[in-house]
Amino acid sequence: MEWSTSSARYFWRLMSQHARLYTEMVTTGALIHGNRQRFLHHHAAELPLALQLGGHDAAALTLCARMAEDAGFSEVNLNCGCPSDRVQEGRIGACLMAEPEHVAEAINNMVNATSIPITIKHRLGIDDLDSDEHLHHFVRLNAQAGCQVFIVHARKAWLNGLSPKENREIPPLQYDRVVALKNAFPELTFVVNGGITTLAQCASQLEHLDGVMLGREAYYNPFLLASVDGTLFDCPHPIAERQNILARLEPYIEEHLATGGRLHSITRHLLGLYAAQPGGRQFRRYLSEHANKPAAGLDVLRQAQAFIGQIHSGGCHSSAQHP
């Protein structure tokens, strides 16, 4: 949440035309009672784009799925994987894995109310509900309800005792169990998530599965996306140099500033663009210190680029997934 904003997604799309992008998780309450425009806003260039929903009430989820379709999203993804305490209080996220029948009812309602794909992102299990029997039951029920795409974080989640950060690191990764799901349900689409940081790892997973989702690696090392189309989608194109990517972003920034937006709301997503490059640390520091000032404009971004030494093209999401 607060990471995969529209500005971040527009930036990522400048590097990959084929990766499917996902919004931050948006709760049904935020859409129905909050700033709907903020969460549904997106640029046409971001497509294909999925809206990730967090919610429990089937009627509210269905209403929000209709909103997403009306707003032009390519997919609605139900989050059944987030383990945070705040999310659990609303019976949202990973705790839904304890209610497969309820999730299936919501999925069925959303599928019948819309014409875009309704997908699920989930864990291998939660707490003591982590057997293959329970996992396969969860997938089977929701497939019967109309879900054809399952994005699986290849870890279980502990709802008590571990923080969200610890739940991304401590439970062991079990990619073999995701492959076993694909073998058990070959007609369904399975996308693996968790612990994947290189395109070589992505390619290896795609030998057995239908898609790969990258989260934090695509955020902290966004230039990885510049090689996605050629490496994973067999759609090679010249890899733009980093400074050319920023030059193409400038008109978007100018429009954002002209409508009263702050530079920092965009540049905070650019901090990793020069990761491991000469001058990259200075680029990051300068933007962090100056882009949040009220009068900050494009000159701040250009000055940050001046810290970069000789810039070379190259590249080694986020995600390379089902088309």
pLDDT tens, residue order, the chain (323 aa): 889 999 999 999 999 999 999 999 999 999 999 999 999 999 999 999 999 999 999 999 999 999 999 999 999 999 999 998 776 667 899 999 999 999 999 999 999 999 999 999 999 999 999 999 999 999 999 999 999 999 999 999 999 888 888 988 899 999 999 999 999 999 999 999 999 999 999 999 999 999 999 999 999 999 999 999 999 999 988 888 999 999 999 999 999 999 999 999 999 999 999 999 999 999 999 999 999 999 999 999 999 999 997 444 333 334 444 43
Cα separation, 40 vs 31, whole angstroms: 8
Nearest of 184, 164, 180, 29 to residue 83 by alpha carbon: 164
Give this prediction's pTM: 0.92
Tokens of 68: 């997403």
Q: What pLDDT, on the 0 to 100 scale, is given for residue 167?
A: 86
Catalytic center residues: 82
